[in-house]
Chains A and B, each alone.
Chain A
């Protein structure tokens, strides 16, 4: 006796479309494509957010750095009174030496270092009202006039480079995702055309019985979309597992709860739902176009 269809393909098709080996290959192809596109999509969104974050957080922030040995009470007073008088400066804060130490120690891979062990600069963080280049340059020039040891940085130079790279990576990711979708469409249309040819006699028979082209199309759509749906669910699960594993390798200090939540925060819901939906729509449209075209070529 013939094996009954699974729950997802419970509707018995008029066409003998169930071919476990071919269905498994199709599933594997869609699963892998979905997984890769999800990885690309998530990294693209991640880079976009990172760049956006830098842009909003850093563009209105500037830093004054002064060598510790040159930082006298008088210089501090001069800087403070100067900054108080500047409309462009919203607020400022002299960072305590311990915080500076905390900030640099991970970069130097040293722990428990005291501020006396190593000469550290005095850092003053400024929050700026405007990012207008002229105003910022004027501020930098005036600070330099107070003391030649004042080093003013407003992050704009490296930030624009970083943003350029982040946008380039995003564009590249989108191009790769598009190329993968094109490969999927091509492979799928070949596979569907093959199946139409393979089932030509049955399609003829259905036509003779009075089946419309759309009836035959529905048979193909139902079966192939059921296979696609399974592949998409598995693709998303696989992606969540791999992104979780990657996160655990990259951030080994984080605990399990964070690991779990990171899998979802890394995976933007738009990405998690949008990409499978996009793949589903691409598959549906490809199957639709290919079947109708192939079936209409028959008498």
Chain B
């Protein structure tokens, strides 16, 4: 379970990016994170992925109270999180195989096991034939699939996706969403930031909506209604 209690985020220029944000994510849930540009979606993703320290409030993830003063305690929590970026963030000096294997290498898994897992996963995302390619030789959709494979290779409890379809066309976006749906059915908690109403209507899920740093939670039906009205 993931719990945010009255969390606030303020940057050095003192502007409040997130104000008094409270919510709970149950295991296996799927939430969209919506809001206009600058509403604080990426900031919330950064807080959830433990890349950003909150200015106020309490965060509890998987039974651990998040405290940046105890860095070593953050490591096991981070290992239960997968993150997919809009711009993929693949390491261009590594092959597709090495990129996907990286989280397992960090976890010090034996080489044989890594090879087996990576092979299986790349076949699942349909990139079994690109194992030795370098990211710059792949299309946007292929790069995003590598990024998803890297995020889920450790079978994370929480998968965060920051506008993963932002740079992709509709057909490829739909394929990616189907991958996310499969992961959701396997019990992964998913938070996906998006501003694409078509996706929300096509694959309905509850919504965390940010407006000027204030969070509003919506059911799947409310989310679809808002999507239909074009007022995400």
Contacts and interface: CB of A to CB of B under 8 A. Distances in A.
Interface of B: 49-53, 68, 71-72, 75-76, 78-79, 81, 83, 89, 91-94, 98, 102-103, 105-107, 134, 154
Contacts of A206: 102, 106
16 contacts: A2-B93, A12-B94, A14-B91, A14-B94, A14-B102, A18-B93, A207-B50, A208-B51, A208-B81, A210-B103, A210-B106, A212-B72, A215-B106, A299-B50, A299-B51, A299-B68
A12 B68 CA distance: 30
Interface of A: 1-2, 12-14, 16, 18, 201-202, 204-213, 215, 296, 299
A212 B75 contact: yes
Contacts of B76: 210
A299 B69 CA distance: 10
B17 to A, nearest CB: 15
A209 B98 contact: no
B91 A208 contact: no
A24 to B, nearest CB: 18
Contacts of A1: 134
Contact of A208 (B78, B92, B105, B107): B78
Contacts of A215: 106
A208 B49 contact: yes
Contacts of A14: 91, 94, 102, 105-106
Given A2-B134, A296-B71, A209 B106 contact: yes
B91 A209 contact: no
Given A208-B78, A209-B103, A299 B92 contact: no
A208 B102 contact: no
A14 B101 CA distance: 10
Contact of B78 (A13, A202, A210, A213): A210
A13 B89 CA distance: 16
Nearest to B53: A299
Given A207-B78, A211-B75, 19 more contacts: A1-B134, A12-B93, A12-B94, A13-B93, A16-B92, A16-B93, A18-B93, A201-B89, A205-B91, A206-B102, A206-B106, A207-B50, A207-B51, A209-B78, A210-B76, A210-B78, A210-B107, A210-B154, A299-B52
Contacts of A16: 91-93
Contacts of A299: 50-53, 68
Nearest to A209: B103
A204 B93 CA distance: 17
Contacts of B107: 210
A205 B89 contact: yes
A6 B78 CA distance: 33
B95 to A, nearest CB: 8
Nearest to B106: A211
